[in-house]
Structure 1
């Protein structure tokens, strides 16, 4: 059904796996479109109460597909991409399911925004989490501003976004970015165990509390998504962004000019 995702359902649990392991599960336009479609469709599936998210291969997700941004033969459509990531964030935040992200390896940029949009985050000790959009001259998207602010508050969110700091699992837990830390290789087992505990609870009441807590924040999320889309589209044309992605591919430090 999907080209870049794997979906499995077992009883009241569904598992979503990002499935571009050869590209470190980086998100191209196809994956963005499919994620939007998946989250919007599972909103209608009342038989599922817990949704688990993970990445196939060595990492959760390296974020947006930087190489696709440099492809001159098939130009990256930033406006279309922003429409997809906005749909992803809004659908994820309003899901009538409890969501658990299991992070191993890297969860960076848009991949980290996806993780932060989940209700529960479990990261392995040596996972690498970073909101590193500033390194390529862009701003967080996929609701990154909103989800990060919800997790750690505005002052800390600014520090994390501006610095592009890389956190391992323990460091991320210490600042409130993740909820549980698992030993390397045991993240997925920890996540599935957590899911079973949720199903042994009065799950419908947990989902109802989530809906009540999120209801008042939806308009703010929509506003932030709109601002992210407009800003990202503008910055995509900037000198610093072009330098940032070129430096990323060339594996060197970018020489930004503030333009």
Structure 2
């Protein structure tokens, strides 16, 4: 079976590409498994100092694969799948290299959780940023609660999760969810950003990253367990079933708080 996550190496840079362009890089079980393996292996690569994460085609990642959410494949493996999601998030957060997410198009749901695990998010101006799990009656996973709390603080993170709105890149930048904005299709500006990073004392940057992040590893692990428990509960709610049904029928959901 063809891979959906590809890695290219050039000098001290690894470029990781999520490759389901026909589905706007929606995250299915296969992609989760390959991302988890990719970042587990990258953690051991001392020759790599910069990791670029991007999506192939017109989106970074539109979020979870709704078609798979409707299938028995996900339902039957839900406990196992949530462990894969948690392991993936932990490996990304513990990555010793400097990681940059290059966002174009949508970075939504778990796609945004994945982007937020990086050190820098560079977004094209037309990008759409959304932590929109609530739209189908779910809670963020993939470390979404933790990463938003890190960037925004608990209260603002909570309110953003509850709103679930789709933000332009400029609004996400003002909030602190995006670190740099480049023009649409402007690969030269992104390459300039990477070249400047290559000229920095990367060993020093990596050590600072370790010092700041290592004290949070246990907190992230605990929050991932709570996200797993919460998501398993949400999967059994009427609101989740209504949210998925409304999404498929392309209408506004009628939630009942049940």
The interval holding the TM-score normalised by the smaller chain is over 0.9
After TM superposition, the structure 1 stretch with the greater mean CA deviation from structure 2, 69-78 or 203-212, is 69-78
Kindly state the Cα deviation for residue 193 of structure 1 after the two structures are TM-superposed. Answer: 2.3
Kindly state the Cα deviation for residue 191 of structure 1 after the two structures are TM-superposed. Answer: 3.2
Aligned to 2:244: 245
**Runs of 4 or more off by more than 2 Å in structure 1?**
72-77, 188-193
Aligned to 1:62: 62
Aligned to 1:203: 202
Contact 2:25 2:61 (C-alpha < 8 Å) held by counterparts:
yes
Map 1:72-83 to 2 at 5 A.
Answer: 72=72, 75=75, 77-83=77-83
Map 1:151-190 to 2 at 5 A.
Answer: 151-186=151-186, 188-190=187-189
Q: How many residues align?
A: 258
Aligned to 2:105: 105
- In structure 1, what is the Cα distance between the partners aligned to 2:81 and 2:98? 26
Q: Deviations over 1:164-193 (max 9, x none)?
A: 01111111101111100111112x443332
TM-score by length of 1: 0.96
- Which stretches in structure 1 are left out of the alignment for 5+ residues? none
Contact 1:100 1:191 (C-alpha < 8 Å) held by counterparts:
no
- In structure 2, what is the Cα distance between the partners aligned to 1:210 and 1:229? 26
- In structure 2, what is the Cα distance between the partners aligned to 1:3 and 1:97? 23
Aligned to 1:226: 225
Q: Deviations over 1:180-221 (max 9, x none)?
A: 0111112x4433322221111111010000000001111110
- In structure 2, what is the Cα distance between the partners aligned to 1:229 and 1:190? 38
Q: Is the partner of 2:206 in helix, strand or coil?
A: helix
Q: Is the partner of 2:160 in helix, strand or coil?
A: helix
Contact 1:112 1:131 (C-alpha < 8 Å) held by counterparts:
yes
Kindly state the Cα deviation for residue 6 of structure 1 after the two structures are TM-superposed. Answer: 1.4
Kindly state the Cα deviation for residue 75 of structure 1 after the two structures are TM-superposed. Answer: 4.2
Kindly state the Cα deviation for residue 154 of structure 1 after the two structures are TM-superposed. Answer: 1.1
- In structure 2, what is the Cα distance between the partners aligned to 1:253 and 1:164? 13
- Which stretches in structure 2 are left out of the alignment for 5+ residues? none
TM-score by length of 2: 0.97
